[in-house]
Amino acid sequence: MIPVIAVPPAPTFGESGLKAPPPLALYVHWPWCVRKCPYCDFNSHEAKKPVDEAAYLAALIADLEAALPAIWGRSVISIFIGGGTPSLMSGKTADALLAALRMRVPLLPEAEITLEANPGTLEAGKFAVFRDAGINRLSLGIQSFDDRKLAALGRIHSGDEARRAIDQALTHFERVNLDLMYALPSQTLREAQQDMAAAIATGVSHISAYHLTLEPNTPFHHAPPPLPDDDLAADMQEMAEERLAAAGFAHYETSAFAQPDQQCRHNLNYWTFGDYLGIGAGAHSKLSDHAGFRRDARPRNPRDYLTDPVTRRWQTIAAADLPGEFMMNALRLTAGVPQALFTERTGLPLEFIEKSALAGRRARLLDTAAGRLRPTVRGQRFLNRLMAMFLADDA
């Protein structure tokens, strides 16, 4: 049984536009890593020399201060520090960063503060320092426990290092997420089962299980490794869903599984079309106010960002684009969202998506019963097809 996720109290919209903004989250990007993985298309850059952490911290603070007028008076419900590998930053920098953020934005007492971490032993040794700085949720990029698969993925840790890092993380954090991949190079169903069993056995409360995809402009895309065929990959996906459900994990988002009350609050804000301010190289923002909706993307290259961390080029999101943008997020949630949330978060009447919703129902991809917009099981399997129906509304 899929639980219905409680959406934070939403603002009301009127014909004149947004009357009150939705919840606001803060994203902080750390763009450096030890080595770029061949499947990775994130904005990450190998650190060829020691990172000038003080200079980057100063740029992040300047970035946030320049953006404060756009979020003035609004409380922040969550902070997510992603990358790259942000666990490479020193404990001193993490402490200074969190202190600077608290000084400049109203942070809710119960705010979720997540740090992405590398399971290598060097970073794992800093978990206690990160906790003392204010981090209360850790997301570990494990990907696999199989040393051969880790080598094929270009990962720099071993399966034993991953297990030790998880054990240490659980001694310092109540909320720990594992990123796990399946359909890996030459992976068998038995190997995928072993990875999933190992992940569940750790006792973490959240597991993100992703299908390895060959993203454009990555080494794996240019020179694909031998991958499982579609049927075998589908078997792996079904296996993951079944085993996680049996272990008490609810499948609440396309690739996310959580124990009760352990969903990622920061990501839920994205999927329910909340607002987010991004600072750091390559970070994205989406903000709402009485005048409408706008977005921004920071310079991707760290050198460019450090040169000018404060200039933002806000772009208005056209009303015609809002249905597609809302549904591309909301349909990732297996329980969907209340139909009323569409109007509350976009300011548009439900009629704007009525035609597409009807097409989704006829294709058995969408369920609109009980006042919700929810992908069916078939819709979850063909999610891109379902989302495309709402993108057509943008024309």
- DSSP-derived secondary structure for 295-334: EEE--SSHHHHHH-SS----EEPPGGGHHHHHHHHHTTBT
Among residues 84, 82, 81, 80, the alpha carbon closest in space to that of 34 is found at 84
Query: Which CA distances in Å does 68 have to 29, 113, 168, 233?
Result: 17, 19, 37, 45
List the domains of the chain with CATH numbers.
13-269 (3.20.20.70), 320-395 (1.10.10)
Among residues 260, 264, 267, 272, the alpha carbon closest in space to that of 328 is found at 272
Look at residue 33 in the predicted model and tell me its pLDDT: 94
The pTM of the full predicted model, rounded to 2 decimals, is 0.93
> Which residues does the chain have with pLDDT short of 50?
1-16, 393-395
Look at residue 19 in the predicted model and tell me its pLDDT: 62
Q: What crossing angle do the helices spanning 91-104 and 53-67 adopt, rounded to 10°?
A: 10
Look at residue 394 in the predicted model and tell me its pLDDT: 42
**Neighbouring residues of 176: CB distance < 8 A, sequence distance ≥ 6:** 137, 138, 139, 140, 166, 169, 170, 204, 205, 206
Residue 145 main-chain phi, psi, to 5 deg: -105, 0
Look at residue 393 in the predicted model and tell me its pLDDT: 45
